[in-house]
């Protein structure tokens, strides 16, 4: 079971490392500035933080 979790985390990390630079480059070209890419990265980090907090919270609820 732990191996499946590690595989999932590694897969998402690799996907983000591949798609992220392309998305930032596209946004930089389409907007003509770095602000689009920075906003994309900021929103991605915020979404990741929210997902992490929600998973941690739901795990604590199931233990009770």
- CB contact at 8 A, 36 and 28: yes
Dist. CA 64–CA 61, nearest whole Å: 6
Dist. CA 11–CA 34, nearest whole Å: 27
Taking the complete model, does pTM exceed 0.75, yes or no?
A: no
Number of C-beta neighbours around residue 16 at 10 A: 13
Dist. CA 32–CA 42, nearest whole Å: 18
Would you give per-residue pLDDT tens digits along the chain (64 residues)?
677 778 888 888 898 889 999 999 999 999 999 999 999 999 999 998 898 888 865 555 555 5
Where exactly are the structural domains of the chain? 2-63
């Amino acid at each position: 079971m732990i191996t499946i979790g590690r595989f999932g985390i590694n897969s998402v990390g690799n996907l983000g490392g591949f798609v992220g630079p392309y998305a930032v480059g596209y946004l930089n070209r389409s907007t003509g500035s770095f602000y689009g890419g920075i906003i994309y990265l900021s929103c991605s980090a915020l979404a990741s933080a929210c997902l992490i907090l929600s998973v941690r919270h739901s795990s604590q609820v199931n233990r009770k």
